[in-house]
Amino acid sequence: MNIRLPFEQAPNPYITPSLNFEFHYFFMRKLWFAYLSKALVVFPGGFGTLDEMFEILTLAQTQKLAKKITVVIYGSEYWKKVFNLDVLVDTGAISPKDIDLFQFADSRAGLRTAAAWIDAELPAGRSAIGKLTETTKTADGEDLMSGWTVEDFLGPEMAKTSK
C-alpha cells in the first residue's frame, strides 16, 4: 500500500504489480491498513512511519479495531532513541500495560520469533506470515513474492471481493 508523494516514496521493487495499491490520501491508506491487516511490522523510518505505527497502536489501545492487530517493531536500538516509552508510562501518559501492545525484534531470528508470535495470534489457516521467514533475496533480483496470491495477503474473504 503505497502513497504518492512528491519525493522519497516509490513502490517497493519486490511488490507483485497486481498487489501494489497506490493511495493519494494518507487517511485512506491508514484505513485500508487497519482494515486489512492482521499484523504490523514496523521498520526504522521517519514521520510517516511514526504516524502509521502510532495510529494503529492508538486504535489498539482504545479498542477501536474490530480485530486484534499484532505489532512488531524492528530495531529496538533505533526506536528507543526515537521515543522513550518509559517517560510516557512514568508521567501517566500511557498505561504500563500499553507496552504489551507490541514487541521488539532485533534480528532475522527475532523476526522468525515475531512471525511465530503473529502466527499464534491469528485464527488457524489464516496466516501467510510464516512464508516471509523462508525467503531470501536472490543475487539476480528474483521476485521475493513470487508464488504469492491475493488470498495470501487478503485472506479468502477479502480476496473473493477483489475478483
Query: Does pLDDT of 12 surpass 90?
Result: no
CA distance 53 to 34: 11
- Sorted by where each starts, the structural domains of the chain and their CATH numbers stand as 2-161 (3.40.50.450)
CA distance 42 to 72: 6
Q: Name the packing angle between helices 47-61 and 26-36 (round to 10°).
A: 50
CA distance 25 to 145: 26
Query: Does pLDDT of 7 surpass 70?
Result: yes
Q: Give the confidence band of 3 by pLDDT, cuts at 50, 70, 90.
A: confident
CA distance 39 to 37: 5
Q: Is 127 in contact with 152 (CB distance < 8 Å)?
A: no
pLDDT at 141: 56
- For 116-159, how does the pLDDT look when each residue is reduced to its tens digit (9 = 90+)? 877 777 665 444 444 444 443 445 555 544 555 555 544 554 44
- For 69-122, how does the pLDDT look when each residue is reduced to its tens digit (9 = 90+)? 889 999 999 999 998 989 999 999 999 999 999 989 888 887 888 788 777 776
Cell numbers 477483489 label which residue? 162
Rounded to the nearest angstrom, the gap between the alpha carbon of residue 75 and the centroid of all alpha carbons in its chain is: 14
> In one letter, which amino acid is 71?
V
